[in-house]
Amino acid sequence: MINEIISMNGYGSYVWSAFSFTLISFASLYFVTKLQLVKEQSRFASKFGTLNVEKARVARSQNINKEILSNTSNI
Amino acid sequence: MFKYFEPNKIFVITSRAPKYVLFLFIIVLSIGLTEALILSPEDYKQSHAVRIMYVHVPAAWISLGIFSCLALFSIGSFVFKNKNFSLISKSLAPSGFIFNVIALVTGSIWGKPTWGTWWAWDARITSMLILALFYLMYLLAWRIYKDKEYVIKITSIIAILGVINVPIIKFSVDWWNSLHQSASVNVFSNTSIHMSMLIPLGIMTAAFTLFSLLIFLMKYNTELIKVKNKGLDRL
């Protein structure tokens, strides 16, 4: 049974390489995109940390900024 | 109407959605892979080589679909001067490009046991390669040009020119003699694939759609945070 699934009547190398290529491409794109997102979130958090009290209050008044900060704390 | 889709309003959803989409994608992909690699029957002519269809066909469909959306949003950003549209089309491009590459590579792997060759300068394959080049030009344009207004113009032109190729890809197998088979799955006429193969194909298409949604959401969030980072500089 296992040998049959692996060899697939001699087509196994074609089928498994096509599926492997697809899954490796998915994993690579996911991790590259995730890395870019995390990098941008940390950049935002460190910039936010340098703001004075008044500027931080203004920035915090925007919901989107609050949301980014709450997501950053989850990293 | 566009005000309901303003980044400030939808970020709460787009920032939380990826983890749910990832969870759903893993479940649907697991079912799809089991169906495609183990449960679905082999073809009477192509034997087990037919299983490559379950990654090749959804990848090709989604890369065409994404490019059509990308062109639509590019026209939208050009006509309505809506910057959110250009962010959406920019976020769609990476997954579209990857799906196009997957369609080309898996098609080439499928070509060897069925046609006896890895590559042929056939109308369908060549037009898919041209689509990949348009995707590449689109992505490179965003990297090369720094002027926001200029890059939106350039990428919109690339998307609008590239979308002309989409119907050419679809009808290439009818217009020219081609090694590539004509469409087996039709929305408006009879589908020539048996249900036992159509179901895994549908599940894999759903999994690939979820993956493109996941990448789109993550990329869109990254682009929005970049915009907000610049906003902090201006405070």
A75 pLDDT band, cuts 50/70/90, is: very low
Q: What is the mean pLDDT of chain B?
A: 89
Nearest-neighbour CA in chain A from B156: distance (Å): 23
Please tell me the distance in Å from B34's CA to the nearest CA on chain A.
11
Contact across the interface for A9 and B48, Cβ inside 8 Å: yes
Report the percent of chain B where pLDDT is more than 70.
94
Question: Which residue among B7, B95, B113 sits closest to A29, beta carbon to beta carbon?
Answer: B95
Q: What is the pLDDT of residues B132-145, one digit of tens each?
A: 999 999 999 999 99
Judged by CB atoms closer than 8 Å, whether chains meet at B109 and A14 is answered as: yes
**If you average pLDDT over residues B152-171, what whole number do you get?**
91
Claim: this prediction has a pTM higher than 0.95:
no
- Asked whether the predicted pLDDT for residue B73 surpasses 70, the reply is yes
* pLDDT: which is higher, B146 or B159: B159
List residues of A whose CB lies inside 8 A of any B CB.
Answer: 5, 8-9, 11-12, 14-15, 17-19, 21-22, 25-26, 29-30, 33-34, 36-37, 40-41, 43-44, 47-48, 51, 55, 58-59, 62-65, 67-68, 71
Residue B91 has pLDDT above 80, yes or no: yes
**How many Cα neighbours within 13 Å face the side chain of A11?**
22
Average pLDDT over residues B70-89: 88
Determine the average pLDDT of the residues in B5-11. Answer: 74
**Three-state DSSP class for residue A18:** helix
B/e letters for A48-75, b = 16+ CB within 10 Å, e = fewer, are beeeeeeebeebeeeebbebbeebbeee
Nearest to A10 by CA among B54, B49, B111: B49
